[in-house]
Structure 1
Amino acid sequence: MINYTELEENIKKNNIENVYIMCGFNEKLMKESINKILKKSISQDFESLNYSVFDGNEVEFEDILNACETVPFMSEKRMVVVYRAGFLNDNSSGSNKNSDKLIKDIEKYVPNVPKHCILVMYYVFDNTREKPSYRVKKFDKKVCVVEFSKLRGMQFQKKVKDVFAEKGKQIGKTELNYFCSRVENNMDIVYNEIEKLCCYTLEKEITKESIDNLLQPNETDDIFNLVDYISQSKPEMAITVLNEIMYKGVKANSILYMVERQFKLMLSIKIGIENKQSKEALVKELKLNPYVCDKMINECKRFTMKKILKSLDICLRTEKELKSVSGDPKFKMEVLIINLAII
């Protein structure tokens, strides 16, 4: 199984495989990669005659078989794409009705896909924590399986910078760091926000102020603000932020997970600082945006090691209560905030 970066390198080198199975949360990146394979393999003049696309929720095996077996016209290759192929997911209920039979037929067929055909099938994860299904893993070693996991750190920044360049817009390094720290790590959203920012700034330079004017605060910003108020012993302000997050529909368990993660990162940064690690080393080790790392280093100054460890202990106890004891989750989160603020 390879990742997005390895696939990009292979495409650049013209190392195009016969069969691809793709999965991940970023459908935009999958579509981009498919388009790059298409451009490398088939002349645009004959694309319509050598390119077949099927909806994974409706496709029958005979459709895939006939499309793959068709001899390309005025081209060495033809390409067959099955998008939103939910039958590749273990939990394929609600997708293709014949998913069990379809997946068995495809398993038998993929070793025999003609050399003139490039078959690509992909499905999109339901959430960012989902992993490749057992069905997909069974294809590994038989075909090229690609997982499109979230781009992080410098990979994410490079991709965002490339998108700005595609739009003909320059962005400074500081502004790029800031934009990446503010925007949600989802390429569909990234493209939309970049489009809006380019239209908003037109011929002007992109600044921190222009980014602030357009981008809505994301959950990471909210959690940072919540922990910041806790560090200042302002539980009433932290509870206000909590209410705003929950009003957006974020569940108590998810909020607690993000708060706990924040303290774990602070613990790692605190240890790194005490061991004389540089900011650059911390960014690389923890896969953080440099701007976010700066903010968290400053935040760590307000917490002693003892307070961070105590905060993590309180978070773990609250997690057990949320999972095992009945009661109002919102009230339990408010109690958590008060307990963290008075340490």
Structure 2
Amino acid sequence: MLYILSGQDDFSLGESLEEIKRGLGDQALLAANTTILDGQQATPDQLRAVCETVPFLSERRLVIVKGLLERFEPRSKSSSQKKITPVTNQRNEYKLLVACINEIPDSTILVLIDGRLGRNNPLFKALSARAEVKTFPLLRNTKLRQWIQRHVIEEGGSISPGAVDLLAKLVGSNLWIMKSEINKLALFTSGRRIEEEDVKRVVSYAQQANVFAMVDAILEFKAGIAEQSLHQLLERGAAPAYLLVMLSRQVQMIVRVKELRNQGKPEVEIQNKLGLTSEFALRKTLERAGRYPLERLKEVYHKLLETDLSIKTGKYGGELALSILIAELCQRRKI
């Protein structure tokens, strides 16, 4: 039996893999009959040897190969011109792999796990007709909100529509983080319905939203708003070192978005390169990249480095150093 599990939602993909495992009988025996291979390195001979190994005290053997299909994703024109011979070898190898996989014994369950695949992947085309194929794109909008509601119910709780919307906005499509945040909210509310205010108080991404507000205020020379945001974050338990890291990270990401936009990269590619799964974070970062000049961003970033040094050398305490940072940056005016 052949399964192909692919997509960027590795949480749901992992759940699907566990479901396959549960269907293969005794889990202790299955663990002894499971082999995991690196698909970027595996050769046809290695794969054949593993798949043809007779199961030990069991009827089934599980072979999991990660990244095999991605290895055969079509390369860009420029990269293919640089390495003509490897591409030719790759074509021959993919044919050998197809022959090997088509001959796996009935006792072997082969699972190919990959990220997002293109439509022209030759190995996927050759294998998909005989495989059980499942794709797991990142959940967004309605599907993400339905997932949140379902998992809150599984935790024995309930959640208001407004809290669902805010949670989806703040956390986005990273279901590993989302599950963790739902667990925290369920413990915090102790059986009562989860409301928007609970999300604001408990979810760590809500702190990120306040950091965004502080970054905006600093970049726009609004000392009062920046100081207010700083004090709110400190009162909620955010450490000065954490805030300094978050401020630096936000400025770095805005600069990176500017660079990628200048290269003509689409939003989807920008999101992937930055590793942003939260639609809220993506929208805010894109908006800032278009609003703030590079010189101002550089000025703020260099001042952040100076503040970090002043804290590490003991010149100032963390809270005082951040207050001085805001005061100095917001005093400066464009000529």
Unpaired runs of 5+ in structure 2? 80-85, 230-245, 268-278, 281-287, 299-335
**Contact 1:136/1:145 (CA < 8 Å) preserved in 2?**
no
Unpaired runs of 5+ in structure 1? 1-17, 230-234, 262-288, 293-314, 332-343
Larger CA Rg, structure 1 vs 2: 2
Partner of 1:44: 27
State the shift of 1:147 in Å. 2.9
Cα gap change, 1:42/1:108 in structure 2, threshold over 3 Å: closer, same or farther? Answer: same
CA distance in 2, matches of 1:58, 1:190: 33
* Per-residue Cα deviation, 1:186-220 (whole angstroms, up to 9, x for no partner): 12222232233334444554222221123344799
The match for 1:112 among 103, 109, 117 is 103
Structure 1 residues 1-343: aligned runs within 5 Å: 18-44=1-27, 46-73=29-56, 75-85=58-68, 87-90=71-74, 100=90, 103-124=94-115, 131=118, 134-135=121-122, 137-139=124-126, 140-203=128-191, 205-217=193-205, 247-252=250-255, 254=257
CA distance in 2, matches of 1:131, 1:225: 38
CA distance in 2, matches of 1:77, 1:176: 42
Cα gap change, 1:142/1:105 in structure 2, threshold over 3 Å: closer, same or farther? Answer: same
Q: What TM-score, normalized to structure 1?
A: 0.53
CA distance in 2, matches of 1:122, 1:219: 34
Letter of the structure 1 residue corresponding to residue 63 of structure 2: V
CA distance in 2, matches of 1:102, 1:42: 34
CA distance in 2, matches of 1:66, 1:165: 45
**Contact 2:7/2:135 (CA < 8 Å) preserved in 1?**
yes
The secondary structure found in structure 1 opposite 2:143 is helix
The secondary structure found in structure 1 opposite 2:252 is coil
CA distance in 2, matches of 1:133, 1:220: 39
The aligned length equals: 245
Letter of the structure 1 residue corresponding to residue 129 of structure 2: K
Percent identity between matched residues is 20
Q: What TM-score, normalized to structure 2?
A: 0.54
* Per-residue Cα deviation, 1:301-343 (whole angstroms, up to 9, x for no partner): xxxxxxxxxxxxxx9xx79xx9xxxx86959xxxxxxxxxxxx
Letter of the structure 2 residue corresponding to residue 178 of structure 1: L
Partner of 1:337: none
State the shift of 1:103 in Å. 3.9
**Contact 2:3/2:131 (CA < 8 Å) preserved in 1?**
yes
**Contact 2:98/2:123 (CA < 8 Å) preserved in 1?**
no
* Per-residue Cα deviation, 1:111-165 (whole angstroms, up to 9, x for no partner): 222233221111235xxxx856734543443534433211123322232233334
